[in-house]
Chains A and B, each alone.
Chain A
Amino acid sequence: MKQLLLSKLPALFAALAAEQKLYIPADDAAGQANFTLWREGLQLTKKLNTVRSAKDLFFPQVENLVGFRVTGKQLDLVETRDPAEPFVLFGVRACDARSFAILDRVFLSEPQDTYYAARRAHGTVVTLACTRPEETCFCQAFGVDPAQPQGDVSCWMGAKALYWQTNTEKGEALTAKLSMLEDAGDEAVKAQQTQTRAILKKLPLASLDLSAVGAGKTKALFDRPEWKQLSESCLGCGTCTFVCPTCQCYDIQEFDTGKPVRRFRCWDSCMYSDFTKMSAGQPRPTQLERFRQRFMHKLVYFPDNNEGSFGCVGCGRCLAKCPIHMNIVKVIKTLGEEPA
């Protein structure tokens, strides 16, 4: 365990940013926290978490895939992918850190997504333990400990110092470059963890019961009549999928720039009426089917295919952002009641 006086935090950021790009959660002009490229004077946000998740850095909302140059009958591929650069992602919370493990299962399994893989290989994740988990938090239901976040390096923000613990080889390489870190004991971190875990027990969603969902529950849940009532007011706006750290669906589109044709991918949402629309029609014709798909995927299908691991990390963003106050917790609770 190492430590750094909080007064030296700007010096730490400057040292990290000297060799690679550094992203930290910071408030924008509208007061919303998001991961932002660090520049001199940029302050770490005081907010618990960012509006958008940390997945943006590995799986950006829009990215170029390839270009095509057509000359007469000749067709050539043109490289348009962003060059992979090393970067440090500082201040990731435990929930978002867990989301990387979920995204890895999707993008790094064969056939590997080389765009995501390049960003993962070049990114070093420095996590920051939570001290004030909020009412919308339910990461503990999915076995995430916000007081002991994963990542290449784990940090704890104390009253006077930042505590720094290296977890991986990548983390060690980063730590070795930071001469300002001093050796420290773990008493302060242990005390903070005890305090945070005491808050966790008092949170309104502390006792969220997942026994009704999970692997093997497709037959029991698919035709439950409650889907109708749950999905009835869904606007299909897709906000939940865009703020979600584990949603990973994308669409591939292209447009003719006049010179090469540019093919790019952008986030898509299973909540949209044209999602997976085919020439034969829309396999999920109403919002009921789309809504059910989103939650069945996270709570049943994903666990089915990934040794029981859920596709949700309990970050609570969808609870805070849904315009009609529908969310995954309401779905889990409703499905946990006796079938109607």
Chain B
Amino acid sequence: MRNDPLIPNLAVVTDIRVDTPDVKTFRVVGLDGKKPFVHIPGQCAMLSVPGVGEALFSITSSPTLEEYVEFSIQKMRLRNRMAPRHGARPANHCPWPLRQRLPG
């Protein structure tokens, strides 16, 4: 079941920082305590809260950071609420094409 793009990896929230009254930053590691996945600039991740659902969030920590990933999340009306237990998977969309010349 592991490494399937549609199945989230289990992850742990190790820290929650309150940035503004409606924005919190969640620090996330894998069950082994290490960074759950490697990403490159422009990439987002699908975050799951079992029973609530899955949604796309931008990764707000630097790709060069080796210990964890962070997500800064604003409270909205829909389902983007975070809970202590959750899953994360890198999203299937394309990151910024850093090594490719853009047209125009």
Check if B85 sits within 8 Å of A113, measured CB to CB.
no
A64 CB, min distance to chain B CBs, angstroms: 11
A185 interface residue (CB < 8 Å to B) = no
Check if B5 sits within 8 Å of A77, measured CB to CB.
no
Partner of A75, one of B5, B10, B76: B10
Q: Which of A68, A255, A265, A277 has the most CB of B within 10 A?
A: A68
B4 interface residue (CB < 8 Å to A) = yes
Chain A interface mostly: strand
B84 interface residue (CB < 8 Å to A) = yes
Check if A70 sits within 8 Å of B85, measured CB to CB.
yes
Check if A68 sits within 8 Å of B5, measured CB to CB.
no
B54 CB, min distance to chain A CBs, angstroms: 6
Partner of A115, one of B6, B10, B54: B6
Over the window 34-65 of chain B, the binary record of Cβ atoms lying under 8 Å from chain A Cβ atoms (1 yes, 0 no) is 00000000000000101111111000000000
Over the window 247-261 of chain A, the binary record of Cβ atoms lying under 8 Å from chain B Cβ atoms (1 yes, 0 no) is 000001111100001
Q: Which residue of B lies closest to A257 (CB)?
A: B51
B55-102: which have CB < 8 Å to A?
Answer: 55-56, 74, 76-78, 80, 84-87, 92
Using C-beta atoms within 8 Å of the partner chain, give the interface range for chain B: 20 to 34
A212 interface residue (CB < 8 Å to B) = no
Q: Which residue of B lies closest to A114 (CB)?
A: B4
B97 CB, min distance to chain A CBs, angstroms: 13
On chain B, the residues within 8 Å of A115 by CB distance are: 6
On chain B, the residues within 8 Å of A160 by CB distance are: none
Check if A79 sits within 8 Å of B1, measured CB to CB.
yes
A248 CB, min distance to chain B CBs, angstroms: 13
B26 CB, min distance to chain A CBs, angstroms: 16
Check if A113 sits within 8 Å of B50, measured CB to CB.
no
B7 interface residue (CB < 8 Å to A) = yes
Report the tally of A-B residue pairs with Cβ distances under 8 A: 60
Using C-beta atoms within 8 Å of the partner chain, give the interface range for chain A: 20 to 34
On chain B, the residues within 8 Å of A278 by CB distance are: 56, 78
Partner of A113, one of B1, B5, B76: B5
Given contacts A73-B85, A279-B77, A279-B78, contact A254 B6 (CB under 8 A): no
Report the Cα distance A265→B51, complex, angstroms.
14
Check if A279 sits within 8 Å of B80, measured CB to CB.
yes
Q: Which residue of A lies closest to B54 (CB)?
A: A252
Chain B interface mostly: loop
On chain B, the residues within 8 Å of A256 by CB distance are: 51
A111 CB, min distance to chain B CBs, angstroms: 4
A75 CB, min distance to chain B CBs, angstroms: 5
A124 CB, min distance to chain B CBs, angstroms: 25
Report the Cα distance A282→B94, complex, angstroms.
21
Given contacts A111-B92, A254-B50, A261-B51, contact A66 B7 (CB under 8 A): yes
Given contacts A68-B50, A252-B54, A254-B53, contact A279 B6 (CB under 8 A): no
On chain A, the residues within 8 Å of B77 by CB distance are: 279
A210 interface residue (CB < 8 Å to B) = no
Q: Which residue of B lies closest to A252 (CB)?
A: B54
For this complex, 19 residue pairs linking A to B, each with C-beta atoms less than 8 Å apart, are A65-B7, A66-B1, A66-B6, A66-B7, A66-B8, A73-B84, A75-B10, A77-B8, A111-B92, A112-B5, A114-B6, A252-B53, A252-B54, A254-B50, A254-B53, A263-B48, A263-B54, A277-B78, A279-B76
Residues in A lying within 8 Å of B, measured CB to CB? 65-66, 68, 70, 73, 75, 77, 79, 111-115, 252-256, 261, 263, 265, 277-280
- What are the nearest 5 A-B pairs in CB distance? A68-B50, A279-B76, A111-B5, A256-B51, A261-B50
Q: A66-B6, A75-B85, A115-B6 are in contact. List 10 more A-B contacts (CB 8 A).
A: A77-B7, A111-B92, A114-B6, A252-B6, A255-B51, A261-B51, A265-B6, A278-B78, A279-B55, A279-B77
